[in-house]
Amino acid sequence: MSSINRKEFIKKSAAAMAGGIALSYGCGNAEEKPSAAVSGKTYEWVLVTAWPPHFPILGDAAEKFAKSVEVMSNRRMKIKVYGGGELIPALETFDAVSQGMVQMGHSASYYWAGKSPVAQIFTAVPFGMNTTQTYSWLYYGGGLDLWKELYAKFNLVPFPAGNTGGQMGGWFNKEINSVSDLKGLKMRIPGFGGNIIQKAGGSAILSPGGEIYTNLERGVIDAAEWIGPYHDWLMGFHKISKYYYYPSFAEPTGMIELIVNKSAYESLPEDLKEIILQASSAVNNKSLAEFDAKNTEYLEKIKNETRVQVRQFPEEVTAAFKHYASEVLGEIRSKDELSARILGSYSKFQERIKFWAEISDKLYYY
């Protein structure tokens, strides 16, 4: 930085600090500047989730979001939360909010591939960006604007509202040593991951979380992908599975969404819109931190307290997954102009951020 630029930077920084101090003093005296009038109208909304009732971390995030909104709005907005199946089936959350049956939903976008295949990108992309990189793309790379554009067609407004972080590859009762071992495999796995398994010669099955254990125990499925060590332990998969593979070829991150009926959202005053934004952002960050802490603890339990074999996918299998992932994404990119723009934006940002990750983060992964 030249001496001229340095002086200008210092000058601007000092001015900004002075302005901030003046603003804070000005706001400290209510008599000097009256606050804007706030409408006394109250709102009682319903939020449905794709998770079982009171589901740890994810269900908790929806409850915490609702509580934060109520407190920050001084009880002008109250949100009643229902778990999947309590009011509507878990996998009907999207339609319920879109059609205005309820005002809000908490879910993952890859459940809605039947509505728009490219929607899955807003949960995770196989061999795509990690969580912090995805956040960067959403908030500062145009991703969130594209998400809003896509969902507007369904009368929805999306907000990032949770993240699982990187996930595991899944539970298997069959050893995976080569690509041929995937032939005929029946696996519970949603989104892009399911497309990849199908291309590898297996069958992808989408079922609610509450059905996975029974299906795996009875042999209806041979393998299942859920979330990560903490939730997988709570589901009891370690009791009925032999192998726990990593890493997730489909979910290097796991973005969770808050979806709001667009018509209802637009009827809100500006302060309540801002409260929804800030409350969803808070649970977005805190849920990620909790996932990382709990997954660390429970992976140790799985390794030390069970007979489960924790294994890495063989290089041959990972290479095949990567090849099929490229095919899947290419097919979705070709579907329509918006899909092409979304995947183009994602891919370009991923390519650009790689260099920064190489020199800033990679050393500390080991």
All structural domains of the chain: 43-165+253-292 (3.40.190.170), 170-252+305-365 (3.40.190.10)
SS3 label, residue 159: strand
Beta strands in 243-331 (DSSP E): 243-246, 255-261, 309-312
Confidence (pLDDT) at 26? 38
Residue type, 94: F
Report how far residue 208's alpha carbon sits from residue 85's, in angstroms, rounded to the nearest whole number: 10
pTM: 0.87
- H or E element, residue 10: helix 3-27
Task: For residues 85-99, give the mean pLDDT.
Answer: 96
Phi, psi (rounded to 5 degrees) for 332: -70, -40
Confidence (pLDDT) at 143? 98
DSSP string, 36-95: PP-----EEEEEEESS-TT-TTHHHHHHHHHHHHHHHTTTSEEEEEE-TTTSS-GGGHHH
Could you tell me whether strands 186-188 and 43-49 are parallel, antiparallel, or unpaired per DSSP bridges?
A: unpaired
Report how far residue 71's alpha carbon sits from residue 67's, in angstroms, rounded to the nearest whole number: 6
The pLDDT tens digits of the residues spanning 31-62 come to 444 334 456 899 999 999 999 899 999 999 99
Task: For residues 221-241, give the mean pLDDT.
Answer: 96
Nearest partner of 143 among 164, 159, 161, 154, judged by Cα: 159
Nearest partner of 208 among 72, 76, 86, 40, judged by Cα: 86
Nearest partner of 216 among 237, 185, 194, judged by Cα: 237
The pLDDT tens digits of the residues spanning 117-148 come to 999 999 999 999 999 999 999 999 999 999 99
- Tell me the H-state helices in 141-269: 143-152, 191-199, 209-217, 229-235, 262-266
Sequence-separated (6 or more) residues with CB below 8 Å from residue 355: none
In the predicted model, is pLDDT for residue 13 greater than 60? no
Report how far residue 52's alpha carbon sits from residue 257's, in angstroms, rounded to the nearest whole number: 16
End-to-end CA distance of the chain: 34
Nearest partner of 128 among 230, 247, 226, judged by Cα: 247
Residue 36 corresponds to which tokens in the numbers above?
A: 């804007």
The pLDDT tens digits of the residues spanning 173-197 come to 999 999 999 999 999 998 899 999 9
Report how far residue 12's alpha carbon sits from residue 15's, in angstroms, rounded to the nearest whole number: 5
The pLDDT tens digits of the residues spanning 312-347 come to 999 999 999 999 999 999 999 999 999 999 999 999
Report how far residue 366's alpha carbon sits from residue 206's, in angstroms, rounded to the nearest whole number: 35
- Which residue in the block uniquely carries the two structure tokens 């998400």? 147
In the predicted model, is pLDDT for residue 10 greater than 60? no
